[in-house]
Amino acid sequence: MHSEAFRPDVHDRDTASVTDPAVPGLLRPRALLPGDLVAISALAGPLDARWQQEADLERAVGVLSGMGFRVRVSPLLAPGRQHWWSAARPAEIAGELNALLRDPEVRAIVAHDGGQTALGYLDLIDVEAITADPKPILGSSDISLLHLVLYARTGLVGFHADLATPGLGGAWRAAPAARRAQLEELYSTLLTGTEPIGALPTGPSWECWRPGRAEGPLVGGVVNRIALVQATRYALPLERFDGAMLFWEESGGLASHVWSYLHVLRHAGILDRISGMVVGVPHAVGGLGGPDAPDAGPTLPEIVLDVLGDRDIPVLGGVEVGHAGPNLPMPVGVRVALDAQQRTLALLEPAVRSHATPGPAA
């Protein structure tokens, strides 16, 4: 059971950037070892046979096995398991997630897919199991909510990264072989290495929308999920955004929706606190202008700079974060250095801790 009044022990935490004692310091999971067990779990949507997801899930298992890990697939991912738009009812999904969090054999959890589910079980997560044995949780889209809420409540480094089925099993398969190899090495190093990775591989879509340099902890996800979580009792304290590098992306909806969500962040005071912004490639967003758009709507850079106004922070756009293709991993809470004009983004800290480092106090 979780407790609303529970405050994690600060043992084995990075508290250097924490000024409010009520805000937990950074909680890094233990680094994975070859042969560790990774669970693919139904944290949101079901396994949908109409989209031929069984084959993509099998390929995702192969990708993780190729990294040297053992893989277990969630019972809720049995074909035909579904409740409305979800893999199961919220309590069932939370039960499976909590069982994985409590299982000492499971060393990492990868979300099968996104969807519209996480809001239903944010209050059912065993937070004490996370602080007792923090594990990497990987995923994006709806899983953004988990990363943000668990970072707010425990300081857990969440891995905003490709989902198992549409990502590792789908988008990775469609990518060139050299790109797949690069991503596999990047993900493996992030999960197993205890030294900073440094510069992430720059892509041809990266653009400087506003020049400048900044450093700060990564915080972000789907922009609508960032706005939604701030409307709940699990909202990130504004202190979490002090000097943060806000990264976000959007899929579906309209350009006007993006503009509105960014204004929600402005009204919440978030845009006044961040040190920089990283924007992912938009996916299926209607009403955006540009050379490939049939309408005369605004471009995404125009929308972003319009909302930012005179806030003089660097903005790097077109980064491979989100629904548009294979994702570069964004470990929430880890400090990065951004140089928008040079189009560089570097991880300054490891996302996992060494096995030699004592774990959280029991």
Domain limits for position 324: 198-347
DSSP class of 175? S
Within a domain: 32? no
Provide the CATH number for the domain around residue 86.
Answer: 3.40.50.10740
Is 184 in the active site?
A: no
Amino acid at position 272, single letter:
D
Asked if residue 236 and residue 126 are part of one domain, the reply reads no
Asked if residue 92 and residue 230 are part of one domain, the reply reads no
Token pair recorded at residue 245? 């590098």
Asked if residue 166 and residue 214 are part of one domain, the reply reads no
Asked if residue 263 and residue 188 are part of one domain, the reply reads no
Is 90 exceeded by the pLDDT of residue 37?
yes
Q: Band the pLDDT of 20: cuts 50, 70, 90.
A: low
* The pLDDT value given to residue 336: 98
Q: Of 112, 147, 160, 323, which is the active-site residue? A: 323
Is 249 in the active site?
A: yes
Count of Cβ atoms closer than 10 Å to residue 348 Cβ: 14
- State the Cα–Cα distance between residues 354 and 334, nearest whole angstrom: 15
DSSP H helical segments within the chain, as ranges? 53-66, 90-102, 127-132, 144-154, 172-174, 177-192, 223-229, 255-267, 300-308
- State the Cα–Cα distance between residues 27 and 157, nearest whole angstrom: 6
Tens-digit pLDDT profile for residues 298-357: 999 999 999 999 999 999 999 999 999 899 999 999 999 999 999 999 999 999 999 877
Within a domain: 264? yes
Asked if residue 212 and residue 161 are part of one domain, the reply reads no
- State the Cα–Cα distance between residues 47 and 40, nearest whole angstrom: 12
Contact present, 330 and 218 (Cβ < 8 Å):
yes
Q: Of 96, 249, 250, 320, which is the active-site residue? A: 249
Asked if residue 164 and residue 50 are part of one domain, the reply reads yes
* The pLDDT value given to residue 331: 98
Percent of the chain's residues with pLDDT above 90 = 83
Residue in 278, 352, 284, 348 with CA at minimum distance from that of residue 313: 278
User: Concatenated DSSP letters for 136-161?
Assistant: -EEE-GGGHHHHHHHHHHH-B--EE-
Is 141 in the active site?
A: yes
Asked if residue 102 and residue 51 are part of one domain, the reply reads yes
Asked if residue 324 and residue 270 are part of one domain, the reply reads yes
Tens-digit pLDDT profile for residues 97-106: 999 999 999 9
**How many CA atoms lie less than 13 Å away from 114 in the CB half-sphere?**
21
Provide the CATH number for the domain around residue 260.
Answer: 3.50.30.60
Asked if residue 317 and residue 229 are part of one domain, the reply reads yes
Q: What integer is the mean pLDDT of 173-192?
A: 97
* The pLDDT value given to residue 21: 58
Count of Cβ atoms closer than 10 Å to residue 105 Cβ: 10
Count of Cβ atoms closer than 10 Å to residue 285 Cβ: 23
Q: Of 41, 141, 144, 251, which is the active-site residue? A: 141
* The pLDDT value given to residue 297: 87
DSSP class of 59? H
Asked if residue 214 and residue 289 are part of one domain, the reply reads yes
Q: What integer is the mean pLDDT of 229-250?
A: 97
Token pair recorded at residue 83? 């409740």
Task: Mark which of 174, 192, 210 sits at the end of a domain.
Answer: 192
